[in-house]
Amino acid sequence: MAGARHRSLAVLLGLLGALLVPTAAPPASAAAAATAPQIYGAWHCSNDACTWGTVRTAAEFDSQNHWLIDRGDGRPSVNLVVLSFVEPLKLLHGTTDATTVNGVPKGMTREIVQYFTAHGIRVMLSIGGITYTDAWNTALAENATLLGQRAAALASSLGVGIEIDYEENTAPDLTGLQAFIDAYRAAHPYDATGADPTARLTLDTAAGDRWLIALNRKATADWLRTDRPVLDYANAMVPARQPSTSGAIANWQEHVDGKPAYSPPVPPLAPAKFTGAVYISDQSKSLPECTDFANSLQKSTGSYTQTVAPNGVGVSSGMLGYMFWAAERPSTRGSGTTPPNTCEGGVGAGATAYGIPVPMPALRQS
């Protein structure tokens, strides 16, 4: 009996010791698996602050933008370019004026589209932007269905996708926007494979969930669902100025978590249904996001964007990737991303570090 008691005591002490000794950290394979970015794109503003008001030759365009198709080793720096912006009311009316032909900016030509697609880079056109918010409101009120049909026809004519950049914060016309989307999807149904470039239809949302709230709520609840998707994904746009690493992550986490305390609540968004955006161009100085990947936000946030877990919606971890605002000259002031301030060292180096696929593959759906 005494021996049995000693053995029992030894077992008990051994168990207590095991509880008190800190357990080793799990191996790296047990941690959340990193999902490499699938989207790594740039909005492009041409040489006139996003007007695209003049026709440009491929040679002249290349002299200012070669870094986009060649990060220094012959491979593109991005796998997506979004030509920004088409004015929605001019598109609806088929306007021809000093900068526009049949509702389309003169500089958004097939030659420019092919400049990118010849290198495996997907091309989209962005309709709107904050400057054209009133034009969006007027066009949706006038004939949202026809606007959607004309956007679909434009996509067909150039072989591109369409991005909705509707930045009405107070009372967005969600009924009209639904009609626009329905009309577009009637012409170009949702295509999970990504094989049809014209079927790519996306939406810009705020950096986090505290601006464009009504638009974000509608999109998350009805258009960006993983079980019955309508739009391919959303871009969480840049905030008013370049955020810190923690600030960028906090903004993006708001989309993942939603805003359950809002009335009505904003539901959570699957990480696989949105990208995060950072600036690469500044009015007064070059940014590391353009020139120095080692000190850039796309590097410092990389662990988060590749491993952020779903919070009730979605299956896979990790956001879809990054968008960069913006190539060439998004403002009449500052240097933009033209030589000698090109972005091979920031955007291009990031494409190498993350193994960005070119062309863009079929996107994760959940």
Average pLDDT rounded to a whole number, residues 340-344: 96
Give the model's pLDDT for residue 32: 60
pLDDT at residue 286 in the model: 87
Q: Is 330's pLDDT higher than 80? A: yes
Global pTM value: 0.91
Q: What pLDDT is stored for residue 272 in this prediction?
A: 98
Of the two residues 183 and 4, the one the predictor is more confident about is 183
Q: How large is the average pLDDT for residues 32-60?
A: 95
* Position 34 confidence tier, pLDDT thresholds 50, 70, 90: confident
For the chain, give the number of residues.
366
% of the chain residues with pLDDT over 70: 91
- Which residues, in sequence order, are CB contacts of 291 under 8 Å at separation 6+? 341, 343, 345, 346
Options 3.20.20, 3.30.2250, 2.30.30, 3.30.1300; CATH for 36-354 is 3.20.20
Give the pLDDT confidence score for residue 25 in this predicted structure: 35
DSSP-based helix, strand, coil % in the chain, nearest 5: 40, 15, 45
User: CA nearest 323: which of 196, 198, 207?
Assistant: 207
Question: What CA dihedral angle connects 292, 297, 302 and 308, to 10 degrees?
Answer: -170
Q: Is the pLDDT of residue 33 over 90?
A: no
pLDDT band at 17 (very low <50, low <70, confident <90, very high): very low
Backbone angles phi, psi at 49, to 5 degrees: 60, 45
pLDDT score recorded for residue 110: 98
Q: pLDDT category, 174, cuts 50, 70, 90?
A: very high
| 324, 278 contact by CB (below 8 A) | yes
Q: Which of 225, 224, 144 is nearest to 178 (CA)?
A: 144
**pLDDT of 15 over the 80 cut:** no
Q: Does pLDDT of 5 surpass 50?
A: no
Tens of pLDDT, residue by residue over 118-161, are: 999 999 999 999 999 999 999 999 999 999 999 999 999 999 99
Confidence label for 335 from pLDDT (cuts 50, 70 and 90): confident
Q: For the chain, what are the domain ranges?
A: 36-354
Task: Confirm if 286 and 279 have CB atoms less than 8 A apart.
Answer: no
- pLDDT confidence bin for 334, thresholds 50/70/90: confident
pLDDT surpasses 50 at 30: no
